[in-house]
């Protein structure tokens, strides 16, 4: 890698929410960012524009995490586009951010909800790591986005929490498998954060916000940039001796 070749970060689900904030935070720290979206190419292009306007560099590639059969083609496209833009195809940082939340009590849960949560959050994340790991450079980083709900418990969150607990478990195991290549893999566990997540309730419902704030040491819900800065810190060399960890970024939620 020459002095002019940038470090490359791939951030999934970066057209909005935490992923968008993470893409921006990594770009601010000098990473060239390949961001993925599933639905709205215009929204994703807007994030690329924001990053480029701020002096960074980014490209966009479509990814549906629920469609594991598409991962081989996705990997080819991603590597091709990264190489065409930045003259190398190795990935330095992979942020597995894309995910869904579906909530409901035991009696209301459906097989479709179960399959969607496990299929996207766990199956998709695992097989994306499998597809991209050979292309992550030695010494690279993988950061998996989990949730504070793997530690504290609320009614109606069992399937979502189970899908993310499984992501934390695979992060720890893969840290051992990928450690010989110097690849660090950690989980970030955000607390309630103001995004579109769960219909935007944490951002838009004042009653929910104040109830969550009342159970949070720092007295409010999180903002996307606060999670993104923690992701960027994990991607930095300062935290190079950290692997297989779960780092909660929740302002002290439900302690
Ligand atoms: N906000 C919170 O309070 C909170 C707390 C803890 C953990 N988290 C986790 O943080 C991550 C980001 O959440 P967020 O708050 O930013 O939610 P969000 O605003 O709803 O954004 C979700 C992102 O994931 C993408 N995505 C969803 N399903 C996908 C699929 N099948 N394939 C590819 N991309 C897909 C979405 O893409 P499209 O827009 O194209 O659908 C979008 O970019 C999730 O893993 C979530 O579980 C969030």
Q: What is the pTM of this model?
A: 0.98
Residue 210 lies in a domain: yes
Which residues have any ligand 1 atom within 6 Å of their CB? 13, 15-19, 37-40, 63-66, 97-101, 120, 145, 147, 190, 192-193, 195-197, 202
pLDDT in tens, the chain (255 residues): 555 689 999 999 999 999 999 999 999 999 999 999 999 999 999 999 999 999 999 999 999 999 999 999 999 999 999 999 999 989 999 999 999 999 999 999 999 999 999 999 999 999 999 999 999 999 999 999 999 999 999 999 999 999 999 999 999 999 999 999 999 999 999 999 999 999 999 999 999 999 999 999 999 999 999 999 999 999 999 999 999 999 999 999 999
Alpha-carbon gap, residue 121 to 218, rounded angstroms:
28
Reference 24, options 209, 225, 221; nearest CA is 225
The secondary element (H helix, E strand) that includes residue 145 is strand 136-145
Positive or negative: CA dihedral 192, 194, 195, 201: positive
Which of 37, 86, 103, 160 is an active site residue? Answer: 160
User: Could you confirm whether 37 is annotated as catalytic?
Assistant: no
- On whether residue 52 sits in a domain, the answer given is yes
Indicate the SS3 state at residue 254: coil
Residue ranges making up the domain that contains 91: 8-249
CA separation for the pair 1, 96 (Å, rounded) = 24
Overall number of domains in the chain:
1
Asked if the structure places residue 254 within a domain, the reply is no
- Give the distance (Å) from ligand 1 centre to CA of residue 121: 9
The runs of H, that is alpha helices, within the chain are 17-28, 41-53, 71-86, 111-117, 125-132, 158-178, 201-204, 206-214, 224-235
Residue 14 contacts residue 62 (beta carbons within 8 Å): no
Contact 61, 81 (CB under 8 A): yes
Query: In CATH, what number is assigned to the domain containing residue 225?
Result: 3.40.50.720
């Amino acid at each position: 890698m020459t002095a002019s070749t940038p470090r490359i970060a791939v951030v999934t689900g970066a057209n909005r929410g935490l992923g968008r904030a993470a893409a921006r935070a990594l770009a601010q720290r000098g990473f060239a960012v390949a961001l993925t979206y599933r639905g709205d190419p215009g929204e994703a292009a807007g994030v690329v524009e924001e990053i480029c306007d701020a002096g960074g560099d980014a490209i966009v590639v479509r990814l549906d995490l629920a469609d594991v059969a598409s991962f081989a083609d996705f990997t080819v496209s991603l590597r091709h586009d990264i190489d065409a833009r930045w003259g190398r195809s190795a990935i330095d940082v992979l942020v597995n951010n894309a995910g869904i939340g579906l909530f409901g009590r035991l009696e209301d849960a459906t097989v479709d909800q179960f399959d969607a949560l496990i299929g996207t959050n766990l199956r998709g994340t695992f097989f994306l790591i499998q597809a991209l790991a050979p292309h992550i450079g030695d010494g690279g980083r993988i950061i998996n986005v989990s949730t504070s709900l793997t530690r504290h418990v609320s009614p109606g969150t069992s399937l979502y929490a189970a899908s993310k607990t499984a992501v934390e478990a695979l992060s720890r195991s893969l840290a051992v498998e990928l450690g010989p290549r110097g690849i660090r893999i950690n989980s970030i566990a955000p607390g309630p954060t103001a995004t579109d997540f769960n219909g935007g309730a944490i951002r838009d419902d004042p009653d929910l916000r104040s109830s969550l704030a009342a159970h949070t040491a720092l007295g409010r819900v999180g903002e996307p940039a606060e999670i993104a800065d923690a992701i960027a810190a994990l991607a930095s060399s300062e935290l190079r001796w950290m692997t297989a960890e779960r780092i909660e970024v929740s302002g002290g939620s439900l302690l």
